[in-house]
Amino acid sequence: MSSALGRIGLLAAQKARLTLGVWLVLLVLALLGALTLARGATATYTLPGAQFESVRAELQQKIPSQGTSSAYVVIQSADGFDAAEQEALAGVLSQVEQKDEVVSAQNPFSAQASLEAARQQLEEGRAQLTAGEEQMSQGQAALDAAKEVLAGAPLPAELAAKEAELAQARSSLRAQRGEIADAQRQLEAAGSSASLVSQDGTVALVPLSFAEDIFSLKSQVRQDIFKSFDALEDQGMTVDYSYELDQDVSQVMGASEVLGMALAFLVLLVTLGTVLAAGLPLVLALIGAGTALGLIYASTAIFGMTATDPVLALMLGLGVGIDYALLILYRFREELVEGASVPEAVSRANATAGHSVFFAGMTNIIALSALTLTGLPFLTVMGLAASLALVLVLASSLTLVPAVLSLLGTRLLTKDQKEERAENQRARTAEISLPKNRKEAIEQLEQARSGWGGFVTRHPITTILATLAVLLAAIIPTSSLRLGLPDGSYQSPDSTSYRAYQTISQKFGEGSNGPIYASVTLNVPGNSHRLRDVTLDVADRLKNKDIQNVVILAHSEDNSTALLAFYPAEGPSAQSTIEAVHYMKERIASTESATSTKVGLTGQTVANIEVSERISESIPVYLSVVLILCLILMGLVFRSILVPLMATVGFLLSTLAAFGAVVAVYQWGWAADLFGVTQPGPILAFLPILLIGILFGLSADYQIFIVSGMRDAYRSGHTAKEAVLLGYKQGSTVVTACGIIMVAVFASFAFSHLTVVRPIGFALALGVALDAFLIRTTFIPAAMYLLDKAAWWWPFEQGDQKEETRPRHMTD
């Protein structure tokens, strides 16, 4: 593989301008495709074939007026809505309903008028009942008086007819009482949640129903809807949109991401010493990641994409792209300093550093592609999109980077390096910088002992215990990890979806942001009265203390199916709401049996809960696959039993510690203001799986970068302890730089304008920091120094290979 990569690097160097031109053309074509074909976020976090999906499909068939999906537009008028404002709203709704994608746009004032009319009819019915009861009472009194006068004699025909008339009136009044009781019960069930206008008259909700999944709406349709409603602001009204409508990934980079790139440049400048060399990895990473991002956006013309997919691809593409370019550039400069020609240096850098880059990149790609094992379509797409980004970044690292290095040549060296190159022009070194004689060996070992590597190897037990103490303390919050999916409460305070969520919570109750929907279908079809009675009975049986109100929203034309809305006391991601959904599910079987119905739960709140629980079930399986993969890959690379075990334990500790920190910040609310956490709550459901996949790949990268030098030194004849020091000295600088760069890139996304991305950026930044600086450059060298040559025990080694690794003491 090394020789093949060397030939690829040399070919790219010989055809440097052609290689650069091809990549620039690919970048332009990908960006043009994104501009002309992209549809934006057209997928959601869902589970095809799940129960809530089948219930939603059945409701769509039975009650088409409810649409496939829905969203709210929240409209405010400070002094209440006057006639002109109501008329303007009616005109907008008429305009919006003309769109093919919109099934209905309900006028809140019509709904309020209907509710008021029902209340008025109820009051009139009560008045009529009272009058009828009073009239019957008077008639009964007159009849009783006449009977008393007759003293038991037969009733005259006139009085007998009067008695029959009173009996009939009594029966009619009894029926009327039942109707009024039913009407009262229905109005009480509807309560304030049935009203789409707040009690103070300043806020109106406009429910929009769509003929397709709202996340599949074309961007132009969304913009047309926004334009129609935003026109109301010209008349003094305020308009906000619920989270389902406010999905925009048109801008994947904000100010914080640019700041992260600037910090990465500063790290590169310190590491490489020249502006040209520092800027090169950034530019090359942008070309590879930009090409991938353009292709991902263009692919949305065919495939659905969530709002997270392109940002994750960009985040990973930039991070690993900079790291990979830095590794090859770093080795290229070493070869130049040692006196190699530019083509030779390019070939050797691609054969050596490129080999580590190729293996590390493939590890990342395999780990992310393994997200397909979860069986969750949106995670599959997310993993494949990120894998595509890494494939292109890896390809650019092994072809574009060598081409540009050959074009720039010795201009990438510092002044001191150029002078050293002049002195070593005729020299050639081995693949790793091993000492040529005993004196140089002693000098290198002394230098290695003076740094951080020397400190951790002088105090290996203390270092290991301190590292474990820090990581185990950070892991503690993981025990209370609770998963969920984003809603309006998680958004930035200046976003329209956050304002909509808060307004609905204040004026209608927090549960109105995420009602729990239930379909009720009669086993034996009946009339509207029977359907209503049975549906209310079902509502009573399913409702618990965490449900504030229940509303019958609609029923089918054949009176066989009704749609119930349960409004929780708290928001859709609250623990009480989750418990309410579980309570309802547990009682569905007994309710169906008692009421002769078929009952099913659906809606975004139910969907979020079921998706989160499905992801939770997938985590152990995915983690097991990744851990096994880690052991096998590290065993094959390092031909050791204990090195893969240490690498795997280190990966597990850093990952769990990152989980714990995420829980402390985003679920418990520690340092919430610093990280822009508007409402602490459940952790993004797919974050643990993403964190496992990405951190596994990156931890494998750093393990390879820092332990490869130790292995090569040990196989070249140094003692195991000397190999740890020499390997650490060789790899620690570049691993530290790579780690800082990756942390800078990921940390910038922790302050992203897209709030759903923030916990991902935070978790990855902290996970990389813990893995690179506590595990790979502290725990691993201390443990390997302590284990001595036992760290390299490999039961499958051939005899001649064992002889090759016979250690010799360089300092004796």
Mean per-residue pLDDT, 64-76:
86
Higher per-residue pLDDT: 77 or 749: 77
Rounded Cα–Cα distance for residues 795 and 776 (Å)? 25
- Note the pLDDT of residue 433: 47
Rounded Cα–Cα distance for residues 174 and 164 (Å)? 15
Read off the pLDDT of residues 448-460 as tens digits, 9 standing for 90 and up. 677 788 899 999 9
Which strand (E) or helix (H) includes residue 601?
Answer: strand 597-602
SS3 category, 550: strand
- Note the pLDDT of residue 43: 63
Edge-to-edge strand list for the sheet holding 516-522: 547-555, 561-568, 516-522, 597-602
Predicted confidence (pLDDT) at residue 192 exceeds the cutoff of 60? no
CA torsion 469→471→477→478, rounded to 10°?
-130
Residue 302, judged by CB atoms within 10 A of its CB (0-12, 13-18, 19+), counts as exposed
Rounded Cα–Cα distance for residues 204 and 77 (Å)? 9
pLDDT range class, residue 362, cuts 50, 70, 90: confident
Rounded Cα–Cα distance for residues 100 and 104 (Å)? 10
Phi and psi at residue 376, in whole multiples of 5°? -105, 115
- Alpha-carbon radius of gyration of the chain: 35
**Which residue blocks in 641-719 are alpha helix, DSSP H?**
642-662, 687-715
Rounded Cα–Cα distance for residues 549 and 539 (Å)? 10
Predicted confidence (pLDDT) at residue 288 exceeds the cutoff of 80? yes
Rounded Cα–Cα distance for residues 253 and 438 (Å)? 53
Whether 566 and 538 have beta carbons less than 8 Å apart is answered as: no
Higher per-residue pLDDT: 777 or 311: 777
Rounded Cα–Cα distance for residues 705 and 353 (Å)? 9
Rounded Cα–Cα distance for residues 704 and 694 (Å)? 16
SS3 category, 743: helix
- Go through the chain and tell me how many residues it has: 812
Closest CA to 211 of 384, 318, 70, 17: 70
Predicted confidence (pLDDT) at residue 36 exceeds the cutoff of 90? no
Determine what percent of the chain is predicted with pLDDT higher than 70: 88
Phi and psi at residue 482, in whole multiples of 5°? -130, 130
Q: Is the dihedral of CA 562, 568, 574, 576 positive or negative?
A: negative
Distances in Å between the alpha carbon of 640 and those of 366, 781, 795, 809? 22, 15, 8, 21
Residue with tokens 């643990």: 688
pLDDT range class, residue 756, cuts 50, 70, 90: confident
Least confident of 276-285, 338-347, 426-435, 479-488: 426-435
pLDDT range class, residue 441, cuts 50, 70, 90: low
Mean per-residue pLDDT, 478-502:
87
Distances in Å between the alpha carbon of 477 and those of 251, 471, 485, 664, 668? 34, 11, 20, 6, 9
Rounded Cα–Cα distance for residues 782 and 778 (Å)? 6
Number of H helices, E strands in the chain: 26, 10
Mean per-residue pLDDT, 434-443:
56
Which strand (E) or helix (H) includes residue 784?
Answer: helix 780-787
**Which residue blocks in 428-562 are alpha helix, DSSP H?**
438-450, 452-458, 460-475, 496-508, 528-542
3-state secondary structure 508-534: HCHHHHCCEEEEEEECCCCCHHHHHHH
pTM of the shown model? 0.78
pLDDT range class, residue 189, cuts 50, 70, 90: very low
Read off the pLDDT of residues 79-134 as tens digits, 9 standing for 90 and up. 999 999 999 999 999 999 999 999 989 888 876 555 565 566 667 777 777 877 78
Closest CA to 544 of 584, 517, 575: 584
Phi and psi at residue 289, in whole multiples of 5°? -70, -35
Predicted confidence (pLDDT) at residue 29 exceeds the cutoff of 90? yes
Mean per-residue pLDDT, 772-782:
93
Mean per-residue pLDDT, 28-46:
78
Mean per-residue pLDDT, 309-338:
86
- Note the pLDDT of residue 798: 55
- Note the pLDDT of residue 808: 43
- Note the pLDDT of residue 765: 93
Q: Do β-strands 483-484 and 683-684 pair in parallel, antiparallel, or remain unpaired? A: parallel
Predicted confidence (pLDDT) at residue 430 exceeds the cutoff of 80? no
Predicted confidence (pLDDT) at residue 161 exceeds the cutoff of 70? yes
SS3 category, 786: helix
